[in-house]
Structures are given as structure tokens and as C-alpha cells.
């Protein structure tokens, strides 16, 4: 059966909250800090304007959801002393938001605002790469992967990042998604990029993302300061990157044009995740387990990202019962 990403009707939403939604599907990392979090709800599909909600326990949350059957439900990434006033900030999860509709190098035929299995699987590749860097380079462990309904949230709850400032989060994001060009004044330059490691192996990371971006460019890709000829040559010679032959690639492109391309690629890398979300300490995010009513998908805590498929694991029952 082909799953269509269409809005849920009010009736379908009702059925979902009555028969399918289970408070036990709300992840432990939310329940364990329930009383410190602010909740927000969108009751009519006009944005989450019912804010500053709190719940003393899971049972109260359950009752609220069963009665209200909200269009969308959110909770804060922040923990507060007084969540009802959004005051007494203590700490916030570090979040990476990868929305399939905003992936800058989509290879599918989606129009703006649309998502499909192809760009959703690209979004998944991206979160896997983010997870690798968070674990491998930064040594983080409490990493939760959430299917958000139209993309993915990576939510990190390690103590070492929970209290970090907006500024620091911005830097962490730049590092994790390879959004900053390594220092070109370094005499080793890019020819040996894959071998030269500046603090914390950043170059290696930048190379990895740049390779990903270049390999996903299409003839239609728009890059700052990159003309049609350069884009064409990039597509022509990028096969060298599949074997990490950056020297060969750069040699064919030419050093000046290569630098131009790399600057443009860094800017594309920057938009792989929504940095605004990562630096916002008081952001609310869709509550895992709840319905994304615009596409009729469940926001879902992912147990095994390797095998996770939103079209198997995040489709509410009512979608299968639809008659076209
Ligand atoms: Zn798509």
C-alpha cells in the first residue's frame, strides 16, 4: 500500500487519540523530567498558542491528551524551576532539527514544502552522520533520535551539553555539520584534507560533509558564486570523491574554482540542520508519540535508526483504514 502524506481529518485525529495514542509511548527522557518542562498545544491547526502548560505526572498528561485530542502537542527542550512561568531556566537539551522539506541538497522531485520517501531517507542519512559525530568526536552518549513526522530530531541530554549557552551551541552545530571552512592559511591546504587534522579532527569532519554535499548536488542545485560551468565540472569530476581522491578532484577543477566551490559547500552544509532550533534554549518541540496532523504521521522515538522506516514505523492505524 502506498502511504499518502495527507492531513488527518478531525475524526481521524479523534480516533487516533481515543484508540491508539498511549502515554507509555512518550519517551522516558520526557517523562523523567515532566514536571520541569513547559508544554504547548495547537488545538486548531493555527500554531501552538496554548503555551505555559505543565503536568504534575504522566496520568494528568494522559487525561489532557485523551480529552483535548490536540492538532499538535509540544514540550520544551528546557527544564525550568517554574515551567508554568517559563522561569528559573536550569538546562536544555541540545537539539538538531533535520526537516526533510528543508534538506538543502534534495535529489527528489518534491516541490517546496513537500516531502517524500526519498528526501525522508536523505534526512535519515544526515541524522546518522550527525549521530556519528556526536558519539565519535564529542563522546556524547545520551542521544535520542526522534522521527518528527516530516523529518528527524536528534535530542542530546548529556550533562556536559545541557547547560551550554546559545553561543556554544552555535559553535557545536558548526562543528558537527561541517559548516565552517577549515583554515586555508594552513600550508597543507585541501590537497591532503583527509589527512590533516586540526583540533578535534574538524577537517576530517568538514571533508565528510562536503563530500556528502557534493555527491548530492544536481544540475539544478543553486550555489552562491558557483556558475553553471563550475557546477557542471563539479558533477563531471566528483566521482574522484567517492574514493576520497580530493587531490585529483581539485586538480581537475583548479585551485581557485575549488576554493569557490568549497566556500559555497560550507554554506550549504550550514543549512543541513536548522541552527535556529539548536541555539534556542526555550524552544518547544513536537512531543514524541503524538500525531503530526498535517501529514498523518506519528512522531516516534526511534529504537533502531538503522532499520527505522517511517512508512512502516510511524504510520497511524487510521491511515490503513482509509478508503480512497
Ligand atoms: Zn522529496
Residue 111 in any domain: the answer is no
The confidence score (pLDDT) of residue 203 equals 76
Interatomic CA distance for residues 60 and 32, integer angstroms: 14
Residue 98 in any domain: the answer is no
List the catalytic residue out of 81, 99, 233, 244: 99
- How many whole angstroms from 217 Cα to the centroid of ligand 1? 14
List the catalytic residue out of 57, 137, 244, 274: 274
Task: Note whether 230 and 291 are same-domain residues.
Answer: no
Task: Note whether 195 and 264 are same-domain residues.
Answer: yes
Structural domain boundaries enclosing 50: 10-86+282-320
- How many whole angstroms from 314 Cα to the centroid of ligand 1? 17
- How many whole angstroms from 202 Cα to the centroid of ligand 1? 30
Task: Note whether 221 and 247 are same-domain residues.
Answer: yes
Task: Note whether 191 and 263 are same-domain residues.
Answer: yes
Residue 96 in any domain: the answer is no
Number of domains in the chain: 2
CATH at residue 220: 1.10.8
Residue 267 in any domain: the answer is yes
User: Mean pLDDT per segment of 10 residues, for the chain of length 324 residues?
Assistant: 86 97 98 98 96 98 98 98 98 97 92 91 96 91 97 96 91 88 51 37 83 94 93 98 93 94 94 95 98 97 95 95 82
The confidence score (pLDDT) of residue 183 equals 63
Task: For residue 243, indicate whether it is catalytic.
Answer: no
Using CA atoms, how far residue 243 sits from 38, 149, 168, 238, 247, in Å, is 48, 35, 34, 10, 11
CATH at residue 17: 3.90.920.10
Task: Note whether 254 and 296 are same-domain residues.
Answer: no
Closest CA to 84 of 35, 28, 48: 35
What does the DSSP assignment read for 172-216? HHHHHTT-S---TTSTTTTTTTTT---GGGHHHHHHHHHHHHHHT
Task: Note whether 305 and 233 are same-domain residues.
Answer: no
Residue 296 in any domain: the answer is yes
The confidence score (pLDDT) of residue 190 equals 35
Task: Note whether 266 and 307 are same-domain residues.
Answer: no
Contacting residues for 291 by C-beta, under 8 A, at least 6 apart: 8, 13, 16, 17, 21, 72, 149, 297, 298, 299, 316
Residue 128 in any domain: the answer is no
The confidence score (pLDDT) of residue 102 equals 93
Task: For residue 99, indicate whether it is catalytic.
Answer: yes
The confidence score (pLDDT) of residue 205 equals 86
Task: For residue 324, indicate whether it is catalytic.
Answer: no
Amino acid at each position: 500500500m502506498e502511504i499518502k502524506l495527507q492531513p488527518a481529518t478531525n475524526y481521524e485525529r479523534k480516533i487516533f487519540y481515543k484508540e491508539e495514542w498511549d502515554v507509555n509511548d512518550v519517551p522516558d527522557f520526557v517523562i523523567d523530567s515532566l514536571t520541569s518542562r513547559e508544554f504547548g498545544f495547537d488545538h486548531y491547526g493555527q500554531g501552538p498558542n496554548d503555551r505555559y502548560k505543565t503536568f504534575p505526572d504522566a496520568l494528568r498528561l494522559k487525561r489532557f491528551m485523551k480529552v483535548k485530542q490536540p492538532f499538535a502537542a509540544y514540550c520544551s527542550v528546557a527544564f525550568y524551576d517554574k515551567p508554568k512561568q517559563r522561569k528559573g531556566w536550569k538546562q536544555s537539551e541540545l537539539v538538531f532539527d533535520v526537516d526533510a522539506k528543508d534538506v538543502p541538497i534534495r535529489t527528489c522531485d518534491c516541490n517546496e514544502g513537500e516531502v517524500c520517501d526519498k528526501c525522508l531517507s536523505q534526512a535519515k542519512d544526515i541524522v546518522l552522520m550527525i549521530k556519528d559525530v556526536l558519539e565519535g568526536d564529542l563522546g556524547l552518549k545520551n542521544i535520542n533520535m526522534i522521527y518528527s513526522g516530516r523529518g528527524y530530531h536528534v535530542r542530546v541530554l548529556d550533562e556536559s551539553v545541557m547547560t551550554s549557552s546559545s553561543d556554544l551551541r552555535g559553535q557545536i552545530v558548526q562543528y558537527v555539520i561541517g559548516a565552517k571552512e577549515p583554515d586555508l592559511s594552513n600550508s597543507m591546504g585541501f590537497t591532503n584534507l583527509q589527512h590533516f587534522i586540526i583540533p578535534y579532527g574538524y577537517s576530517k569532519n568538514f571533508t565528510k560533509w562536503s563530500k556528502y554535499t557534493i555527491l548530492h548536488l544536481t544540475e539544478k542545485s543553486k550555489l552562491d558564486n558557483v556558475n553553471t560551468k563550475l557546477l557542471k565540472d563539479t558533477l563531471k569530476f566528483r566521482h574522484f570523491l567517492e574514493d576520497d581522491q580530493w587531490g585529483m578532484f581539485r586538480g581537475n577543477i583548479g585551485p581557485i574554482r575549488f576554493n569557490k566551490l568549497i566556500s559555497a559547500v560550507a554554506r550549504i552544509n550550514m543549512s543541513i540542520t536548522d541552527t535556529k532550533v539548536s541555539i534556542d534554549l526555550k524552544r518547544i518541540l513536537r512531543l514524541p508519540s503524538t500525531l503530526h496532523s498535517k501529514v498523518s504521521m506519528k512522531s516516534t522515538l526511534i529504537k533502531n535508526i538503522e532499520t527505522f522506516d517511517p512508512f512502516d514505523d510511524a504510520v497511524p492505524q487510521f491511515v490503513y483504514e482509509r478508503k480512497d
